[in-house]
Amino acid sequence: MIKVALFEDNRHLRDSIQLVLNDSDGMLCTGAFPDCSNLMKDILQSNPDVILMDIEMPGMNGIEASKLISSQFPNIKIVMQTVFEDADRIFQAIKAGAAGYMLKSTNSDTITSFIKDVMDGGAPMSPLVARKVLALVKSPNGISVANSTFALTDREKEILQLLVEGDSYKLVADKLFISFFTVQTHIKHIYEKLHVNSKTEAVTKALKENLV
């Protein structure tokens, strides 16, 4: 059973998503909150595997909340929800520890699919958001700029690109026709070269340094 907590200030949307989650096989909404005023208490009480986090809320916003959650509860996956497609907000959310990013117009089937994907190690994003992210890793002339400082191999760059696009390790293995174990080995080397400890940190560094 995947336990999901929801932080959303729009009551109608909050209630709707809560119903979607509780009607989905293998999912349970353990908490639905209008803001982050009692963030730590709400997380401890709801004990979620995944958090759906609104970006714009009164008081503490979703990006600030995600930073706190990532530092205190690193095993909890965070999926950002927003009406914004702003590239800077997307980048801030990823740096804050978000594992996925979807627009509030996302339908109910896609919401549950995103949650399952993020639990499987993916980094799901709505198509419009994914295009914004890919634009962030491109140079002004549209050509990816690889920073040689990190000495990534072509295969490592290829895998890092797929991680940035939101693919899970299993999907990376399928796309590149290599074993899951081989993907894990490459990712271990990528982490060592980038001096990071998680996929979120690797994606953030790839975006910041134009590595793919």
One digit per residue, the tens of pLDDT, for the chain of length 212 reads 999 999 999 899 899 999 999 999 999 999 999 999 999 999 999 999 999 999 888 889 898 999 999 989 989 999 988 776 666 677 778 778 888 888 777 788 888 988 988 888 887 777 767 766 666 555 444 444 444 457 888 888 889 989 888 888 899 999 988 888 889 999 988 988 888 888 888 888 888 777 87
Provide the whole-model pTM.
Answer: 0.63
Determine the straight-line distance between the first and last CA of the chain, rounded to whole angstroms.
36
Residues recorded for the chain: 212
- Give pLDDT, residue 78: 93
Q: What is the set of domains in the chain, with CATH numbers?
A: 2-131 (3.40.50.2300), 137-209 (1.10.10.10)
∠ CA 91-96-97, nearest 5°, is: 105
Three-class SS of residue 131? Answer: helix
Complete DSSP assignment for 24-85:
STTEEEEEEESSSTTHHHHHHHH--SEEEEES--SSS-HHHHHHHHHHH-TTSEEEEEES--
Q: The tokens of 121 are what?
A: 């190690």
Would you state the pLDDT for residue 132?
A: 66
Which residues are registered as beta bridge partners of 3? 28
